[in-house]
Structure formats: C-alpha cells, structure tokens
Amino acid sequence: MTTELTTRQRAVLAVWLASSAVGVGIWQANRMASSSVADWPAQTVVTFSYFTNSTNALVIVLAAALLAGRGRLARWAAAPPVQAAISLYIVFVGLGFWFLLGGPEPIDRWWLWIPEATAHTLSPFLGLLYWAWIVPTGSLRWRHPVLWLAYPIGYLAYWLVRGPIVGEYPYFFVDVDALGYGGVAIWSGALVVAFVILGSSMLAVDRFRVSRRRRPPV
C-alpha cells in the first residue's frame, strides 16, 4: 500500500530526483569523458564509491519508486522508516560536505559547479524538506536510529576492504594510510555518534508532532 501524493508533493519528489540525478550524472560523465570506454565500468565503481553518490543514488531510487506509485519497490519506498532513513543520509551528506569537508575544492570547469549545487546542497535541503513535510508521522520507533546505522557502517567496512586494495580513499576520515586504524576508528566512532544524534532528533520530532496531533483541543 502506498501513500497518495498531492501535486505539490510529487513536484518536490520530481525536483529531488532531478537534483540527485543531474549531480551524479555530471560527475559520472566527467569521469567517462576522461577515460577510455574499456575503463568506464571501473570509473562507475569509483563514482559510486563516494558516500555522496551512493546516497544520491538511494534518493533517485526512492523518489522514482514513489512517483511510479506501484510495484514492490514502491511499497518498500512508501515505508516511513525507509523514507526517514534516506532523508537522514542525504541531510548528512550536506552537513558533512559543508561542515566536515569544508565545501568544494577548487574547480576548473564551470559545469562541475552544478553537482556541487545539486547533489551536495540542493538534494540535502530537499531531503530535509521531504522529511518535514511529506514523510508520514507516527511510524518511527527507538530502534530505527540504530537500524539506520547499517548503511554508513557498511560503507565504512567497504572502504576498509577496498582502500588497501586500490591504494586510495575518498575521504580523510577513512584513510587508513594517513590516520592508521586507530585514527579511523576514532573518526568512525564520532560519525556514528553524530548519525545516532541526528536520527534520534528526527525520531523525537516525529514523536512530538504525533503528540501534538493527538492532544485534545483546549
């Protein structure tokens, strides 16, 4: 069973989908343009090995499924905990990019500013808007902020395996060569705590909104 969306809500989803798709698409196209056709599969793996891109891919899947409104994927996407989780992940992308990584590095091609404005900025904002305005309230439980850690922890595990093989890392906080396993563990612990705090805050707001809705009029 899926939730019927209003025209404005569908418009938000469509813009959210387009923002993430344009951002990831430009980054991927830039990689493909600077590599041979034979190297395109490897470059695709590199593209989606960034947390920003894998998370925007989740946004694309979620938004497309909800806009389609039918099928198993739509039923999965309609679950409020799923919608809240992906909203949390993309909001974290924006916060991490601007406040942890310090924003964009020097860019020598004007069109590469587009994904910075979309995938790193607009999509996180729309994720927050989507969660606050569209995600149904009352379905979140205290276990959900912990369950939502599966994706970021899985991402960390992926780079602990991939990093030593390829000899490079996408972010300083997973760079075992620079920080050592102890340093990566400290940073990972801090980010896990940040995820739990942000997820718990979303849950607390959800509970508050439900309690206000149920409160009898004075």
d(CA 94, CA 200): 18
d(CA 200, CA 28): 34
d(CA 18, CA 123): 9
* Helix ranges, 34-79 (H): 40-47, 51-68, 72-77
d(CA 113, CA 101): 16
Please give the pLDDT value at position 216.
Answer: 58
d(CA 31, CA 39): 10
* Helix ranges, 96-141 (H): 113-117, 123-133
Task: State pTM to two decimals.
Answer: 0.94
Task: Select from 115, 124, 57 the least CA-distant residue to 96.
Answer: 124
Please give the pLDDT value at position 214.
Answer: 66
d(CA 161, CA 46): 14
Please give the pLDDT value at position 213.
Answer: 74
For residue 75, report the phi and psi dihedrals to the nearest 5 degrees: -65, -40
What 8-state DSSP symbol labels residue 37?
G
Please give the pLDDT value at position 215.
Answer: 61
What 8-state DSSP symbol labels residue 78?
T
Please give the pLDDT value at position 16.
Answer: 99
Please give the pLDDT value at position 107.
Answer: 87
Could you read off the pLDDT tens digit of each residue along the chain, which spans 218 residues? Answer: 456 889 999 999 999 999 999 999 999 999 999 999 999 999 999 999 999 999 999 999 999 999 999 899 999 999 999 999 999 999 999 999 999 999 988 888 889 999 999 999 999 999 999 999 999 999 999 999 999 999 999 999 999 999 999 999 999 999 999 999 999 999 999 999 999 999 999 999 999 999 887 665 55
Burial 24-58 (b: 16+ CB within 10 A, else e): bbbbbebbeeeeeeeeeeebeebbbbbbbbbbbeb
Please give the pLDDT value at position 1.
Answer: 47
- The DSSP H or E segment spanning 162 is helix 150-166
Tokens of residue 138, six digits: 């009352």
Please give the pLDDT value at position 3.
Answer: 61
CB 24 within 8 Å of CB 119: yes
